[in-house]
Chains A and B, each alone.
Chain A
Amino acid sequence: MKKALFLFLALAAVVSLGAQDFIMSNGAEPTLDPTLMTDVASTNVGIGLFEGLMAYDPKTNLGTPGVAESYKVSPDGLKVTFILRKTATWSDGTRVTAKDFVYAMKRILDPATGAEYAYMPAMVIKGAQEFNEGKGGFEDVGIKAINDTTVEYSLTGAAPYFADMTAHSAFWPVPQSAVEKYGTDWTKPGNILTNGPYLLKEWKPQEYVLLEKNAKYWDQKNVKIKSIKIYASDNDSTNYNMYKNGEVDWMHGIALSKIDEIKLRKDYQTSAQVGTYYYCFNVTRKPVDDVRVRKALAAAIDKKTLVDKVTKGGQIPTDSWVPPMAGYVPQKGIGFNPEEAKKLLAAAGYPGGKDFPTLTIVYNTNEGHKAIAEYIQQQWKNNLGIDVTLQNMEFKTFLDLRGKAHDFTIARHGWIGDYLDPNTMLDLFMTGSGNNDGLYADPEYDKLIENARLAKGAARMKILQQADAMYLTRDQGMIPIYHYANQDLIDTTKWGGWYATPLGFHSFKYMFKK
């Protein structure tokens, strides 16, 4: 009896060991509802579960046909029509139709949903802004299911990036039947319906997500990895140790304290990323409502030393908000200049830092953010003579405080582009945008971004640069610190189909074991 039990246990162990082909360490707990996704960790998992009209190309991260087999743009660029493939289905076998996309759009734009990403479709799709603000009905929103396989979008302007944009989670379809049946529980295993290459097999919150190949996926014959386990732990050191022991195949993000060692590894993948790490001001709060104070704080940070000595991971120190992109000249805020910083602070009424209130830098608990915050704290003390305190908090609490309550003066922030166009960085700071955590509000700025939507080509870039200059050069709405670098650990001699991409999106679909 005992022997039989032992054999059974041994067998079970072997089976469970072989249960997943690919293991990823994601760095944070994901949200699985596409409508509510905001962070990279959620998108990493989401790309496996869902698919938009377009999907991200594994190398360039531009749009490549997903649920849509083709699309047409009208000559004036204001109407985009997608033709859906008839073979695209949900995981229960029902067809993915144009109605699913309309439903998802209605859900994300509905003010009652409170989706942070609502502003993204709201800004390009006609009538979406009004509906999102509760001023208009959904029937006026520019999305129409012409028949089951045709969906037509009417845009506010000729946005050349629109097709690429539909690869983003804010445009993914959502299964109406499951959402209406289970409410907020619809993303639980057993309830969830997905249309992407993978199914949600198991979800242990704060621990891991287990994905399994979706046999009903239209392109399933090209999906090679059968199952994927995605760990949620945010402890970089533990994650790295697991990676070193071979318990993890792909580690997303790396431990700062180990960078000296990791940098020399063969399987360390790094490349420039379209994103910016920055310190966000709540511009409605004293004393950072004064542009001179904001400029003084920005000019008192030596970002080059920070990147060389503290973060050390190939990041690019910057004074601009928009990362380098083809055809666009990023505008600059004030650079490192301690003398100028002192003068600006004195002009604002705090000569030598006298009477300057003690501010707090808020950041989410992470050794990297902590080291950067400590460095900046010291820089401000040395260069401006002001004291700031540091406060760390758990990630979800931090997101609520920064994004919903806006209860901070200075907070650590980072933004990674959603598509390859400067617009993805600049529309963030429009009045009332869901990710405008610093509450910057300038009608002129909003106007410029809206005008850019109607323009084309070089003229459009010019207007965007104007807006960029207004926000950064004139108002210094935040302190850009560095442009992100992708930092991943994955052995590309063992795993194929994984590339260091400009937006940091990686589709499991294309990956395979060599």
Chain B
Amino acid sequence: MSLERNQVINEFNQQVKPVSLWADAWKRLRRNKMALIGLWIVAVFAVLTLMAPMLPIYSNTEQEMKHINLPPSFKNAGQVALETLQRKANQINAMIANEGRDDLKPELEKVMAEYELIKAEINVNPVHKRVYLMGTDYLGRDMLSRTIYGGRISMLIGFIGTITAVFIGIIIGAIAGYIGGRLDDFLMRFVDIMYGLPYMLVVIILMAMFRKEGQSSVIILFVAIAMVSWLTIARVVRGQIISLKNAEFVEAARSMGASSARIIFRHLLPNTLGVIIVFSTLSLPGFIMSESFLSFLGLGVSAPDASWGTLVSEGVQSMELFPWRLLVPACVMTIFLFAMNFLGDGLRDALDPQSKNRA
């Protein structure tokens, strides 16, 4: 029986369909429910944030001074504002009545004046017809829109950080691993030195050095995060390459006269791709977290742009009074990070042939 090129035979001499590594991995991933949910959530987030300018949401930077700190609601903003003011007036009234706080009377008048003002124009002014599903912040900006646009920046930092890290890491790691010897020593000691530098200090110094008049700090943030993020992946790739470089298929390629570049990029790297993909998905949340941390310190993106990190840090300051300003971005960010972690876990199981969780 002649065997055609594309046919595969199993151990019982039956013909089976050929399965590529990727199809196999996809099949395994599909069986992992959590990973699949994670994948869907990440996809939805990505689509939402990418399409943000086209979505029917309010501007993320436009300030509406009549709608400051409104709670989330399905009702019209004008109505919510009136209710909020009414509640405040009642609170002050109670304080005047119960505690004899006559010093609060001017404050009460102010609240009532604003109440009347909004009441008078509630049917005339179209801004009062808005609906803030997630409430507003301290300058009357829509939290929903700010969270979506914030996700844009946070996810962008995550993806750009990962892509640059993977790109630089692969090249340095592969060269060090494959060529070895002095070059390997040199490159790896360089990585050690970079590891030794305090990460935050490097970022802060970079931010201070390269910030120019009129320029947004996001780009420097990208560069700073990318500069220190490729180290781990370079080490991982180097280890993989060293363990593979004396394998038979590499010997075979070499004996057929393949160049070093060809061996590295055509034969070795595809074999380490699984590890790299898994590593990237798992490190992406790390970048988002470190940007949040920098934003928390006031070193992140500059206002009025906001990332999830800056939104959370603004929200924390007034969480007792306006809890939605913390909860909305914090929940969204947590969900995304969870999804990303589950997806990373699933990918590791799916791509790693040695994994004991193989289905």
Interface set of A (CB-CB < 8 Å, partner B): 236-237, 255-258, 260-261, 263-264, 266, 305, 309-310, 357-360, 365, 367, 370-371, 373-375, 377-378, 388-392, 397, 409
Q: Let me know if B4 is at the binding interface, CB within 8 A.
A: no
Interface residues on B, range: 20 to 34
- 9 shortest interchain CB distances as A-B pairs: A358-B214, A257-B318, A257-B317, A365-B298, A309-B65, A237-B317, A390-B303, A378-B63, A374-B303
Q: Let me know if B253 is at the binding interface, CB within 8 A.
A: no
Contact B139 A310 (CB under 8 A): yes
Give the chain B neighbours of A388 by CB distance below 8 A. 214
A264 in contact with B104 given A309-B65, A378-B62, A389-B214 (CB within 8 Å)? yes
Give the chain B neighbours of A392 by CB distance below 8 A. 298, 302
Contact B62 A257 (CB under 8 A): no
User: Which of B65, B215, B314, B321 is within 8 Å of A258, CB to CB?
Assistant: B321
Known A255-B317, A261-B320, A374-B304; 5 more pairs at CB < 8 Å:
A258-B321, A264-B91, A378-B61, A389-B302, A391-B211
Interface set of B (CB-CB < 8 Å, partner A): 61-63, 65, 68-69, 91-92, 95, 99, 101, 104, 107, 138-140, 208, 211, 213-217, 298, 302-304, 314, 316-318, 320-321
19 A-B residue pairs with Cβ-Cβ distance under 8 Å, sorted by A, are: A257-B314, A257-B317, A258-B321, A264-B95, A309-B65, A310-B138, A310-B139, A359-B213, A360-B213, A365-B298, A374-B303, A374-B304, A375-B63, A377-B303, A378-B62, A389-B214, A389-B216, A390-B302, A391-B211
Contact A258 B318 (CB under 8 A): yes
User: Which of B62, B65, B140 has the largest count of A CB atoms less than 10 A from its CB?
Assistant: B65
B310: nearest chain-A partner, CB-CB: A370
CA–CA, A397 to B298, complex, Å?
14
CA–CA, A337 to B260, complex, Å?
70
CA–CA, A402 to B139, complex, Å?
27
User: Which of A263, A367, A391 is within 8 Å of B107, CB to CB?
Assistant: A263
Give the chain B neighbours of A310 by CB distance below 8 A. 138-139
Say how far A306's CB is from chain B's closest CB, in angstroms.
9
Contact A360 B214 (CB under 8 A): yes
CA–CA, A359 to B62, complex, Å?
19
Say how far B80's CB is from chain A's closest CB, in angstroms.
16
User: Which of A263, A375, A397 is within 8 Å of B139, CB to CB?
Assistant: A375
Say how far B209's CB is from chain A's closest CB, in angstroms.
13
Contact B213 A409 (CB under 8 A): yes
CA–CA, A335 to B110, complex, Å?
23
CA–CA, A374 to B208, complex, Å?
21
Give the chain A neighbours of B138 by CB distance below 8 A. 256-257, 310, 371
Say how far A240's CB is from chain B's closest CB, in angstroms.
9
Contact B107 A264 (CB under 8 A): yes
Give the chain A neighbours of B63 by CB distance below 8 A. 374-375, 378
Contact B321 A377 (CB under 8 A): no
Contact B317 A371 (CB under 8 A): no
Contact B303 A373 (CB under 8 A): yes
Contact B68 A309 (CB under 8 A): yes
CA–CA, A307 to B187, complex, Å?
57
